[in-house]
Amino acid sequence: MFGSVVMWSQKNEDVKNSIIEQRIEIIVAALDEGVELDYTTLLEGLTSYYDNPLNLNTATTEQLRELYLLDELQILALQNHLARYGALRSIYELQAVDQFSLAVIRQIEPFVMASPASMLDKVTFKNIWQEANSELMLRYKREFQERAGYTPDPLTGQKAYVGSPDYLYTRYRIQFRKALQIGFTMEKDPGEGLQNGADFTSAHIMYNDTRWVRKVIVGDYQAMFGQGLTFWNGLGFGKSPFILNTKKNALGFKPYTSVQEGQYMRGGAVTLGFGKWTLSAFGSVKNMDASIESDTTLADSQDDGFLVSSINAAGLHRTASELEKRGTLSESVAGGNVDYKWKRGSIGFTAAALHYDKPLFLNPDLYRYYRPQGQDFSNMGINYQTVWRNANVFGEASRSANGGWAMVNGVVASLHPSVALSLLHRHFSNDYQALYANVFAENQDNPANERGLFAGVQTTWSKGWTFTTYVDLVKYPWLRYRVDAPSNASDFLVQLNYKPNRKDEFYVRFRRRGDMQNTSSTDERITAPVDLSRDVFRLNASYFVHPNVQLKSRLEWVFYEKESVQQNGYLMYQDVVFKKIGLPIQFVARYALFRTDDWNARVYAYENDVLYAFSIPAYNGVGSRMYAMASWDVRRGVELQVRYARWLYSDRRLIGSGNQEIQGNQLSDLHVMFRWRF
């Protein structure tokens, strides 16, 4: 009996990891090239709902959005179906709900359930003790080659980096149902010291309920409201073949559990609910890394004549100069959101104020003319969304304290069971200033100096064929970095997918991005912008050659052109994934070959990594890349992952520069993860 329980546990865990990995890889593979997102929130959400499936009969709109697998039309269709026909008895009744194809149902099946609506069991200390789930995770990573920063200077004997090349990560979390969560995270980056403990520490306590006190968070958290134009510092997707994801689904407050230093709020947040009204308020005070300069003209002012020339978001404290910038800027943020919901829509108002203890005074280049300056900033915005028939109309308008304004309006619609449409228009004035924004735009976190129109269509054909295309046309009325005049840009994509069964999928993609950049002429008097283009052609296949062996193959070509000068690149790789249900060990490996003429022709590709670590490197130069990872379920609740990766270049004898320079043409690293759930 004991052996069968252990075998079932291993089998269940294998299936879980495989399903979650597949969902994340599908999302990541479709995102904009080179986009850097924090996928920790996405991974945690799917893991949580796999362990504690979401009851579709009682799920709130916010909980359905947290799946990141349903669009707004599907959520509304489900809610309308429940209101009209009552509770679901099985999730397969979703086949009778508009917008829910069998493919969609299979996507969400592992994370949801359909149970009779009922009150939660009474929360007692005994229940918490018996049902709470704890997780302890440790990660270690180290490169085998030594970088210049770890080599003692021949004159002084001192190393540029104050710490060891080891990467250390510790995380602990305890969760009771979806109602209570407590956790902390500690991290040390390579080169950082441990003289004062972990370089970065984050912690939170969250209470979550459906009554009038909806959510309370103390510690580190993220806030996401509207369409990300007024205030949003959490996970947000941009352009991708998932054209219906142009609409952002605000989740309010989420605990911060990642290690991207600076991308969080530190303080407290609360959400209250009164019928159709929801009130959210938050406050944050934290220190940030910044480059500080003195200005004698301000010596008599309250800031003692110090100015902030740049804010450093990297969070690295390896050298004496990096340590000098640590915590030199204090940031205070306060804000809130009021939201009113009705059956087919909602409207909300968001306001936020930000104060720095030293004024910002950025580089005076002309293209920065409208960038934020000073100590105090604020934003106010109104967001809305409503559904008319099979169309979801949404938008947000916002104004910054300096008078700048911005707006985004869009619609996603199902024109036919097999045809979907997405339209989005954005207009950001040159002087709009939002220091915490994440909106659908070419520059998501700096929505200014941009006018754009996005249009996308997705059609589903019989026998597993899907065709997707979009075009995005952009104008920049003011100057940009390396563009000394008003300019235009465009983005065009077509993709054809073929999914003959539940396991295999093939697609071909072509994408052309047009932009403008200053001429490459060596005459400094000539800075007129000229056109450039970047074409990407991809062939991708994911298929099973054996019930336990999956192959993933890709060929990708990049063609870059500026002023009749062409730079090309290609990447080809082969993945092998071995997973056998019931076997406690799984393997994944990749071998890739690449050649690019220049950085402009670089190629990005998602890589498997240990849990809560994400790798999307740029393949640039000439060489090969390989990695192999093994996952071992040591026993029930105990998991070990080991990953080895290596770059081998044939076009260089030095890798990197400055303190990051490596002598030789190889770069390899080992990444180890240990997780204990109890």
Q: Concatenated DSSP letters for 24-76?
A: HHHHHHTSPTT----THHHHHHHHHHHHS-EETTT--HHHHHHTSS--HHHHH
Give Rg (Cα) of the chain: 26
Position 18 pLDDT exceeds 60 = no
Tokens of 368: 């920065």
Cβ–Cβ < 8 Å for 480, 487 = yes
Distance CA(519)–CA(523), nearest Å, equals 9
Q: Quick one: which of 58, 54, 82, 86 has its CA closest to 70?
A: 54
What pLDDT, on a 0 to 100 scale, did the predictor assign at position 3?
Answer: 37
What pLDDT, on a 0 to 100 scale, did the predictor assign at position 301?
Answer: 46
Position 364 pLDDT exceeds 90 = no
**404 — phi, psi (to 5°)?**
-70, 150
Position 5 pLDDT exceeds 50 = no
Q: Are strands 603-604 and 638-649 parallel, antiparallel or unpaired?
A: unpaired
Q: Quick one: which of 414, 403, 395 has its CA closest to 378?
A: 403
- Cα distance between the two ends of the chain: 21
Q: How confident is the model at residue 611 (pLDDT cuts 50, 70, 90)?
A: confident
What pLDDT, on a 0 to 100 scale, did the predictor assign at position 642?
Answer: 96
Tokens of 260: 């991207």
Position 238 pLDDT exceeds 60 = yes
Query: Distances in Å between the alpha carbon of 634 and those of 7, 596, 612, 641?
Result: 12, 42, 19, 10
- CB proximity list for 654: less than 8 A, separation 6 or greater: 661, 662, 663, 664
Q: Quick one: which of 497, 503, 464, 500 has its CA closest to 101?
A: 464
What's at 637, amino acid-wise?
Answer: G
Burial of residue 520 (number of CB atoms within 10 Å: 0-12, 13-18, 19+): exposed
Residues paired with 377 in a beta bridge: 354
Q: How many CA atoms lie within 13 A of 523 on its CB side?
A: 4
Tokens of 209: 């309920």
Position 556 pLDDT exceeds 70 = yes
Percent of the chain having pLDDT more than 90? 52
Position 470 pLDDT exceeds 60 = yes
Q: How far, in whole angstroms, is CA 560 from its chain's centroid?
A: 27
**64 — phi, psi (to 5°)?**
-65, -35
Q: Quick one: which of 479, 476, 485 has its CA closest to 451?
A: 476
Lowest mean pLDDT segment, chosen from 33-47, 83-97, 370-384: 33-47
What pLDDT, on a 0 to 100 scale, did the predictor assign at position 122?
Answer: 53
* pLDDT digit string, tens, across residues 432-441: 999 999 999 9
- CB proximity list for 68: less than 8 A, separation 6 or greater: 27, 42, 45, 46
Residue 301 is classified by DSSP as S
Cβ–Cβ < 8 Å for 492, 486 = no
Position 545 pLDDT exceeds 50 = yes
What pLDDT, on a 0 to 100 scale, did the predictor assign at position 130?
Answer: 66
Tokens of 204: 């939170």
For the whole model, what pTM was predicted?
0.82
Residue 152 is classified by DSSP as P
Position 16 pLDDT exceeds 60 = no
Mean pLDDT over the full length of the chain: 85
Burial of residue 551 (number of CB atoms within 10 Å: 0-12, 13-18, 19+): middle
What pLDDT, on a 0 to 100 scale, did the predictor assign at position 295?
Answer: 66
Distance CA(252)–CA(203), nearest Å, equals 18
* pLDDT digit string, tens, across residues 132-161: 788 999 999 999 999 999 999 888 888 999
Distance CA(240)–CA(180), nearest Å, equals 34
Burial of residue 622 (number of CB atoms within 10 Å: 0-12, 13-18, 19+): middle
Helix 40-51 and helix 2-29: axis angle, to 10°? 140
**157 — phi, psi (to 5°)?**
75, 5
Mean pLDDT of 244-253: 85
Position 339 pLDDT exceeds 80 = yes
Distance CA(332)–CA(266), nearest Å, equals 9
Distance CA(15)–CA(19), nearest Å, equals 6
Cβ–Cβ < 8 Å for 147, 662 = yes
* Higher per-residue pLDDT: 289 or 445: 289
What pLDDT, on a 0 to 100 scale, did the predictor assign at position 31?
Answer: 53
What pLDDT, on a 0 to 100 scale, did the predictor assign at position 208?
Answer: 84
Q: How confident is the model at residue 523 (pLDDT cuts 50, 70, 90)?
A: low
Position 381 pLDDT exceeds 50 = yes
Cβ–Cβ < 8 Å for 519, 530 = yes
Cβ–Cβ < 8 Å for 415, 421 = yes
Cβ–Cβ < 8 Å for 610, 643 = yes
